[in-house]
Amino acid sequence: MKIAFIGLGAMGLPMARNLASLAGTELTAFDIAADRLRQADGLARLASSTADAVQGADAVFTVLPADQHVAAVAREVAAVRAGNRWFADFSSISPATIDDVAACLAPVGTQTISVVLTRSTAAAQAGTLGLFVGGVRELPPELAAAFGAMASDVFLVGSLGAAKAVKMINNMVVAALDIAINEAIVLGGVAGLTPEDVTEALAAGGVSSWVLPNHIVKYVLPDDLGPGRFSTRYMAKDVALCNALARQLGCPAFFGGLAAACYRGCVAYGFGDDYHLKVIRWLEAGAAAPRTVESDASQALAALVSGVAAVQSLVSVEAIELARLSGMAPEEAAEHFENGSAGNAGLDWWRTPAPERRPAPTLGRLLDDVTPVLALAARLDVPAATFEVARHKALSLAGGNGGLNRPLWVTE
């Protein structure tokens, strides 16, 4: 199959490299940045433009920064009328934009397929990405083989827009959990605990999530936070897309708002091109770290473990509600997040068969779990913004029927 691959950034280039190794594939690559395009030399024919790239291609694959870039490439593809059968976009863009792209390409006989990437640049290099695919009931064999060269898992999620919604909500959860755990590390540091103390206590306390081993332990602990991976600027963009979806759906996004503010702050602080986990350095600056205040280490660790677990549960509530309003069943959404990079113990209730589910924790219990962290933060004079938001999320949910005795998960 002949494929035109457009967009050779941190994710696109390793994806193109894996695709080039697939037998029977003729790859043409293009990127407007000449230095990135040169990196594909030897992997593919290097095109001089989008129009040049798509000539003779069965499929066009795009991995681009933002909505406007995907829309512009789609218009070029439509104008060229090169007879491309498929246009598969892997970018993080809004559901509305991918629908517009499909409307643009349908008159020239090109079928649009909505794909989103989860996991990490390391997964892109290893060919073990998770792909969520929308717009088709079944992948044509040629595309299934191509996707399999880049990913270890491919999931069909329904409509074009559903795939993009899954990615936006997934990344909001990832952003919020990254911030929560990093803020716990900063809080712990002021209390005299090492980052290893905090992460080991979280893991031992059952605060499981995809981001803890794959983001925090792998990159934050060794301070490997420079450019070349999914940047603070890109995370800010994805969270903004999720918040726009929330506004469209009329759903408050407490943790989406928190993440937006934090990542905007990181960009303003000069961390825009660094790995988005550099948020910990911004959080440290806000807490006037490094400094220590004499504290009871065991009490501080216990508070942080319970507090982060409560945050995970409350972030998951927000994610499930956004997914439900986007047309997904909660069980389906929880499985998608688990298969992506937003999996965490807070979603396990929905992933357990209904007859086997234990009673969900009450909002009062979660509030009790967050309160000691806030008391610690007040004593140490540390912002603890994630935990403040968690308190207000719990109180907001309790404002309806049931009050603080209401279970976290309700099925009406």
- Bridge-based pairing state of the strands 111-118 and 129-134: antiparallel
User: Which pLDDT does position 412 carry in this prediction?
Assistant: 58
Domain boundaries, the chain: 2-158, 165-405
Residue type, 395: L
List, as one string, the DSSP characters of 68-113: HHHHHHHHHHHHHT---SEEEE-S---HHHHHHHHHHHGGGTPEEE
Angle at 62 between CA 60 and CA 63, to 5 degrees: 160
Domain 2-158 top-level CATH class: alpha beta
Q: Tell me the CATH number for domain 165-405.
A: 1.10.1040.10
Note if the bond before 290 is cis, omega within 30 degrees. Answer: yes
**pLDDT lower than 50: segments of the chain:** none
Distance CA 178, CA 54 (A): 39
Q: What φ, ψ does residue 316 adopt, rounded to 5°?
A: -65, -35
Query: Exposed, middle or buried by CB within 10 Å (0-12, 13-18, 19+), for 45?
Result: middle
3-state secondary structure of 194: coil
> Quick one: tokens of 32?
């407007």
CA triplet 104, 107, 112: central angle to 5 degrees? Answer: 55
What is the structure's pLDDT at 401?
A: 65
Q: Give 314-368 as a DSSP string.
A: HHHHHHHHHHHHTT--HHHHHHHHHHTT--BGGGHHHHS-GGGPPPPPBHHHHHH
